[in-house]
Structure 1
Amino acid sequence: MDEQLSKYLSGELSKDELRVFLERIENDHNLKAEFIRNLNRNAISATVAYSKDREEGIEKYKQFRLRVKQHNRRSIFVKAMRYAAVAILIVASTVFSTLYLYERELGSIMNTLHVPAGQRAQITLEDGTKVWLNAQSTLKYPSHFSSRSRKVEVTGEAFFDVAKKSKPFIVYTNDLELHVLGTEFNVYSYSDGNYIQTDLVEGSLKVINHFNDKNSVLLKSNQKMVYKDSKMTVSPITDPDHILWREGIYSFQNERLIDIIEKLQLYYDVNIIVVDPDIFNIRYTGKFRQRDGIDEILRIFQKIQSFKIVKDKEKNIITLV
């Protein structure tokens, strides 16, 4: 017998070991079959069972009835039917309870995807939802969504193309919850940023404050919401190109240097110090490839506004003089 299965049957698995074991069952058909056999034998109610296993049990029950009939003894048959009926009830209750317990355990197993500085990534979730992650961003998601809702957590910047399902899709950020059904939207929520922004490309999106349910807004297509200083501000999307980061392009449209620097620090995990504060409010417009790196982006800005670039690699600091 499989060692983990043996430990499970004897109740010796820790919580973490149980999660690993449940994942193995999901992916190993042989282990699952062995587990089902022990399930039926011991009437265990905390493992995986599917409808085909129930059908197999019912088929065995039919064979059992046939053997009983061959004894041609009505009293034995009646007693056997009673026990068989009880057995079927046990099997049925085991199937339903184990499906619930399995879903609860598996749904609690969270995966974490982190994208390092200067990179981006794309992932398709279990329900078909597609997620793009920008640099220095993290997505936490379950390996299996529950029957009631689909919940994920985001730190950083992400674009969601949510698969249309009856159960809601909820994205948790630092202070907000984004509730959707079938929607395309971008969310910017870095832990070191001083604001949260979400841009709704298509569909509808309800934004709720974690700490105050009454503080919420409902976005329509081509609207954006900026959350800053505990206030939500809704306005039309004026620069749709800023979500081109999905394709590896950073787009800035008439943005102040101080705001651009804040994003570059997050995207490339570097500290940028500006000695002359007068250049903070100079506005820039342009598009840059992510792979070009921060040095090339700053050199292009340097052509517009004269300043020197001093790098301290040991301390990971860039100073604009």
Structure 2
Amino acid sequence: MEKKILYRYFEGIATEEEKNFIHQWIEESSDNRKLFIRERIRFDATLLMDEKAIAISSKRIHLSRWMINTIKIAASVLVLIGCLHFFELYQQDKQYKKTQMVYVPAGNRSKLLLPDGTIIWLNSNTRLQYPLLFANGKREIMLDGEAYLKVAKSKEPFIVKTNKYNVQVLGTTFSVTAYAADSVFQTSLYEGRIKVFDNNMASVYLSPGETAYSQDGSLHVTNMTDSDEYRWTDGLICVTDKQFSEIIKIFERTFDIQIVMNDSSLSKLRYNGKFRILDGVEHALKVLQNDYPFVYRRNIDDNVIYIETKK
């Protein structure tokens, strides 16, 4: 940043283009904000000439006493305005470093509006960490769980970080499933374009209707098989050609209950259908009983459901 542009800004004679350039430069890093504050202090200090210096100058340029006092008052006001501005920048800098942690317990869902206007739905057993203000050209959040996002459009990339892979977008609609306690990672794109990458910068790009998932330590891309997976945001569990064992995991997370299968032969049976979360886990199991030959019993004391093949 050229000092002459900064001083034009301090003097109030900068063009709109220069003002926008300075504002953008300030937002780029904390070092830039510190330099801006330091130069502003220097600029204001030059205005606070002591009375003797002003008197000497006034003899040379024949300033009146009224004009001398006016200069001193104006300088004081500028310093006050500058201090208030510096305090505001300091407060903003503190806000940039503050983060908010949200946890959605099992059996619940939540909807949030992020600082940039992004809307995010959080599923059961999900943790989200995000800054109170996005700054320095970064929009980053930390996710442990499942989320559906409608990202606000911006020139700044929006990054969802997980313990497995990261997802980068500019403005789009997509879902992410990445529970730290589970080996599964999956992200599906509904609108726009996204980049999925890991810490080694290995990456894939998705187009609408595609899903990226992890298998054997690497990323794979396939066409989306279930466009209704995100419908948990509407209170529905939608499954398309899922194994019984996968459905049971969804029930455990959604209804905050442990389900034990005593017969492994059930685990690979597949199912298509929808369940209303509001109806509860037992209603969902009764629906499955129409297709699967199993019985179950629920132990209220330890909150466990035991499933076995029907005899």
Q: TM-score, normalised by structure 2?
A: 0.73
Give me the whole-angstrom Cα distance separating, in 2, the residues matched to 1:272 and 1:168: 40
Which residue, out of 275, 278, 299, partners 2:265?
A: 278
1:175 to 146, 157, 164: 164
Matched, 1:162 2:151: yes
Conserved in 1, the CA contact under 8 Å of 2:225 and 2:240? no
Match of 2:243 in 1: 256
Per-residue deviation, residues 1-47 of structure 1 (Å, max 9, x unmatched): xxxxxxxxxxxxxxxxxxxxxxxxxxxxxxxxxxxxxxxxxxxx99x
Shift of 1:83: 5.5
Q: 1:99 to 1:176 in 2, by over 3 A?
A: farther
Q: 1:158 to 1:84 in 2, by over 3 A?
A: same
Which blocks of at least 5 consecutive residues in structure 1 are unaligned?
Answer: 1-44, 47-56, 62-67
Match status 1:207 vs 2:196: yes
User: Which moves more between the two structures, 248-257 or 301-310?
Assistant: 301-310
**Secondary structure of residue in 2 paired with 1:140:** strand
Q: State the partner residue of 1:292.
A: 279
Secondary structure of 1:192 counterpart: coil
Indicate which of 295, 304, 315 corresponds to 2:302: 315
- What per-residue deviation string (whole Å, max 9, x for no partner) do you get for residues 42-72 of structure 1? xxx99xxxxxxxxxx9xxx9xxxxxx9xxx9
Partners of 2:83 and 2:253 in 1: CA distance: 50
Matches within 5 A, 1:227-238: 227-238=214-225
- Structure-2 separation of matches of 1:182 and 1:93: 36
CA contact under 8 A between 2:120 and 2:149: conserved in structure 1? yes
State how far apart, in whole Å, the 1-side matches of 2:186 and 2:76 are: 56
Partner in structure 2 of residue 53 of structure 1? none
Q: Which residue of 2 aligns with 1:143?
A: 132
5 Å matches for 1:183-198? 183-198=172-187
Measured on the aligned residues, the alpha-carbon RMSD in Å equals 3.6
Matching residue's letter, 2:222: S
CA contact (8 A) 2:164 2:178 kept: no
Deviation (angstroms), 1:122: 1.3
Q: 1:243 aligns with which of 226, 230, 233?
A: 230
Question: Are the equivalent residues in 2 in contact too, given 1:255–1:283 (CA < 8 A)?
Answer: yes
CA deviations over 1:51-108 (Å, ceiling 9, x no partner):
xxxxxx9xxx9xxxxxx9xxx9727578667756865774565456444432221122
C-alpha separation in 1, matches of 2:269 and 2:241: 9
- Structure 1 residue 130 and structure 2 residue 113: aligned? no
Q: Distance in 1 between matches of 2:243 and 2:262?
A: 16
Question: Which structure is larger by alpha-carbon Rg, 1 or 2?
Answer: 2
Which residue of the partner structure matches residue 114 of structure 1? 103
Q: Which moved more, 1:197-206 or 1:264-273?
A: 264-273
The offset of 1:298, in angstroms, is: 1.2
Q: Which ranges of structure 2 fall in alignment gaps of 5 or more residues?
A: 1-32, 35-43, 49-54, 56-60
> What is the alpha-carbon distance in structure 2 between the residues aligned to residue 294 and residue 193 of structure 1?
21
Measure the CA separation in 2 of the matches of 1:171 and 1:163. 13
Are 2:121 and 2:233, in contact at CA under 8 Å, matched by a contact in 1? Answer: yes
2-structure distance, mates of 1:119, 1:150: 26
Q: 8 Å contact 2:232–2:238 — kept in the other structure?
A: yes
CA distance in 2, matches of 1:95, 1:218: 46
**Secondary structure at the residue paired with 2:176?**
strand
Secondary structure of 2:282's counterpart equals helix
How many angstroms apart in 1 are the aligned matches of 2:256 and 2:100?
23
What percentage of residue pairs aligned between the two structures are identical?
Answer: 30
- SS, match of residue 239 in structure 1: coil
CA contact (8 A) 1:147 1:167 kept: no
TM-score (norm 1): 0.71
SS of 2:93's equivalent in the other structure is: helix
> Which residue matches 1:217?
204
